[in-house]
């Protein structure tokens, strides 16, 4: 069954097979979980909410709490006003969150529910008390991807809550983009090493990577607090990482509170991390500490040590645009050849950026936005590669093509552990990526070399 994909490539306009993305509400839910005391609410059917929760739970190996308007046939025809009003009343009575973050689904978008009107009416009728906070964002699943939903939720949060007191403070806003909780921890660690004051938003560390205490907490201690979200309007600068995931929020804060922003690629690999460290250095007007310099030197040493295994290896990569773009840059830095890069998220900017990165090392690169893993598999059948990088769904392609070396990276990964606990951000994260890539090559050799060629030292 895994080898049922044919090598003949046909252009498809109205069909995606195994798309390299999922839907907007999942991203909105993940971003909302990065707010302290927030309950994500899915305005749609129970099935939608169950799918989104289970996807996040399986990836992060943590229980994900979320509520739903529980649409049935009646709400689908006549609208979800009554469902949402009753849901909000129940949520605050039973679960007592600090904030409820309502996001829409396909169904509520198609029927045209006016969420702000429903929320305002619920307030007038006393179903939401004056001190109970509710926000909303529109996340139709038939537009964009999970990264789009993450972006929309972040921008809506700022639109609802960030404010300027008129007094600019010596604080930098850090928007991490869609990355793992471990990556958010690493971003905070590096900022502390640099000695700058910061607010990270959103922050899923301490929420989706909590320790085992024997007691269930619906709202763990982690996440960006409401006070911090409000205070972002008084910061003197925003450093936004990941253009697709963070740009909208940075622009919203700049428009609303006049906080200037600097947009960077995700700090994956050497040059992208250099750019992030330099941005913090300039923002804080501080020198780069020796500890950060040492981390960088150790990364360069590992890149040099492993160069013989990386040189000119052909790599296929798929996933989210921000992550694929940053990782492609790192592959080029390691003297590898990214020959194809695929994302399921629409946007021609992705293709142009990939071609720009690969212009010198691999000008023939195939870059596809709004594509799928099926096309990637067909392409690999016609153009064999040495390494595949992508989320957990890539293992079917790797197995069908002779168990080619495969490194899991991105969202979702449901068949391995470690991605939520060990960062791939920054200099230390880049070292972990090198470890994973070289070990994939070594494991492939150990599996496939004849006995007389198996070496203890590769």
**Confidence at 5, pLDDT banded by 50, 70, 90:** confident
Q: Are 342 and 410 in contact (CB under 8 A)?
A: no
Q: What is the CATH number of domain 169-293?
A: 3.40.50.1980
Q: Provide the pLDDT for residue 14.
A: 80
Q: Provide the pLDDT for residue 76.
A: 74
Q: What are phi and psi of 357, to 5 degrees?
A: -65, -40
**Confidence at 434, pLDDT banded by 50, 70, 90:** very high
The pair of three-digit structure tokens given for residue 382, joined into one six-digit string: 């016609």
Ramachandran sector of residue 26 (left: φ over 0; alpha: ψ -120 to 50; beta: rest) = alpha
pLDDT in tens, 264-289: 999 999 999 999 999 999 999 999 99
Q: Higher confidence at residue 450 or residue 327?
A: 327
Q: Provide the pLDDT for residue 2.
A: 55
Q: Provide the pLDDT for residue 1.
A: 42
- Of 391, 374, 396, the C-alpha closest to 7 is 374
Q: Higher confidence at residue 78 or residue 373?
A: 373
pLDDT in tens, 64-93: 999 999 988 877 777 789 999 999 999 999
| Length, in residues, of the chain | 458
Residue 362 bears catalytic tag: no
Peptide bond into 202 cis (omega under 30): yes
Write a three-state SS string for the chain: CCCCCCCCCCCCCCCCCCECCCCHHHHHHHHHHCECCEEEEEECCHHHHHHHHHHHHHHHCCCCCCEECCCCHHHHHHCCHHHHHHHHHHHHHHCCCCEEEEEECHHHHHHCCCHHHHHHHHHHCCCCCCCCEEEEECCCCCCCCHHHHHHHHHHHHHHHHCCCCCCCEEEEEEECCCCCHHHHHHHHHHHHHHCCCEEECCCCCCCCCCCCCCCCCCCCCCCECHHHHHHHHHEEEEEEECHHHHHHHHHHHHHHHCCCEEEECCCECHHHHHHHHHHHHHHHCCCCCHHHHHHHHHHHHHHHHCHHHHCCCEEEEECCHHHHHHHHHHHHHCCCEEEEEECCCCCHHHHHHHHHHHCCCCCCCEEECCCEHHHHHHHHHHCCCCEEEECCCHHHHHHHCCCCCEEECCCCCCCCCCCCCCCCCHHHHHHHHHHHHHHHHHHHHHHHCCHHHCCCCC
Q: Average pLDDT, whole number, for the chain? A: 94
The average pLDDT across 302-321 equals 97
Q: Provide the pLDDT for residue 440.
A: 97
Q: Give the list of residues 6+ apart from residue 242 with CB closer than 8 angstroms, or none.
A: 175, 176, 177, 178, 179, 265, 266, 322, 323, 326
The average pLDDT across 241-269 equals 97
Q: Which of 23, 106, 339, 397 is catalytic?
A: 106
The proportion of the chain whose per-residue pLDDT surpasses 70, expressed as a percent, equals 99
Distance of alpha carbon 395 from alpha carbon 405, whole angstroms: 10
The radius of gyration of the chain's CA atoms, rounded to the nearest angstrom, is 23
The proportion of the chain whose per-residue pLDDT surpasses 90, expressed as a percent, equals 86
Does 24-161 match 306-453 in CATH topology?
yes
Q: Provide the pLDDT for residue 77.
A: 73
- Does the pTM surpass 0.75? The reply is yes
**Confidence at 203, pLDDT banded by 50, 70, 90:** very high
> Which CATH architecture describes the domain 24-161?
3-Layer(aba) Sandwich (3.40)
Residue 106 bears catalytic tag: yes
- Of 46, 421, 362, the C-alpha closest to 205 is 421
Distance of alpha carbon 451 from alpha carbon 375, whole angstroms: 36
Distance of alpha carbon 458 from alpha carbon 455, whole angstroms: 6
Distance of alpha carbon 212 from alpha carbon 223, whole angstroms: 18
The average pLDDT across 161-168 equals 95
> Which CATH architecture describes the domain 306-453?
3-Layer(aba) Sandwich (3.40)
**Confidence at 290, pLDDT banded by 50, 70, 90:** very high
Please state the domain extents for the chain: 24-161, 169-293, 306-453
């Amino acid at each position: 069954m895994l080898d049922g994909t044919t090598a003949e490539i046909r252009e498809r306009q109205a069909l995606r097979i195994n798309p390299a993305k999922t839907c907007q509400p999942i991203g909105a839910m993940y971003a909302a979980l990065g707010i302290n005391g927030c309950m994500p609410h899915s305005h749609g059917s129970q099935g939608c909410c169950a799918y989104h929760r289970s996807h996040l739970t399986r990836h992060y190996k943590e229980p994900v709490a979320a509520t739903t308007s529980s649409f049935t046939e009646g709400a689908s025809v006549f609208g979800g006003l009554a469902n949402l009003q009753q849901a909000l009343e129940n949520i605050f009575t039973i679960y007592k969150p600090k904030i409820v973050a309502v996001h829409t689904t396909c169904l509520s978008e198609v029927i045209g529910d006016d969420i702000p009107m429903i929320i305002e009416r619920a307030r007038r009728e006393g179903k939401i008390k004056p001190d109970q906070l509710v926000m909303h964002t529109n996340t139709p699943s038939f537009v964009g991807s999970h990264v789009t939903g993450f972006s929309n939720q972040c921008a809506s949060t700022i639109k609802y809550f960030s404010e300027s007191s008129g007094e600019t403070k010596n604080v930098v806003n850090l928007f991490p983009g869609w990355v793992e909780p471990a990556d958010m921890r690493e971003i905070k660690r590096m900022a502390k090493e640099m000695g700058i004051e910061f607010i990270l938003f959103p922050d899923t560390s301490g929420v989706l990577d909590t320790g085992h205490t024997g007691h269930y907490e619906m709202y763990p201690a982690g996440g960006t607090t409401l006070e911090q979200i409000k205070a972002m309007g008084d910061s003197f600068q925003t450093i936004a990482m990941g253009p697709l995931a963070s740009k909208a929020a940075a622009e919203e804060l700049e428009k609303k509170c006049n906080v200037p922003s600097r947009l960077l690629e995700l700090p994956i690999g050497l040059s992208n991390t250099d750019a992030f460290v330099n941005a913090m250095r300039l923002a804080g007007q501080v020198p780069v500490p020796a500890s950060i310099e040492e981390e960088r030197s150790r990364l360069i040493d590992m890149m040099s040590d492993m160069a013989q295994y990386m040189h000119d290896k052909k790599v296929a990569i798929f996933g989210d645009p921000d992550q694929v773009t940053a990782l492609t840059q790192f592959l080029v830095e390691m003297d590898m050849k990214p020959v194809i890069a695929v994302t399921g998220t629409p946007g021609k900017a992705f293709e142009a950026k990939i071609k720009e990165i690969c212009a010198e090392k691999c000008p023939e690169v195939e870059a596809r936005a709004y594509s799928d893993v099926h096309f990637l598999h067909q392409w690999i059948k016609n153009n064999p590669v040495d390494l595949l990088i992508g989320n957990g769904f890539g293992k079917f392609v790797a197995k069908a093509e002779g168990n080619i070396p495969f490194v899991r990276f991105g969202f979702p990964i449901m068949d391995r552990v470690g991605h939520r606990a060990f960062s791939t951000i920054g200099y230390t994260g880049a070292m972990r990526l090198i470890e994973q890539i070289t070990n994939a090559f070594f494991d492939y050799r150990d599996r496939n070399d004849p006995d007389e060629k198996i070496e203890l030292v590769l």
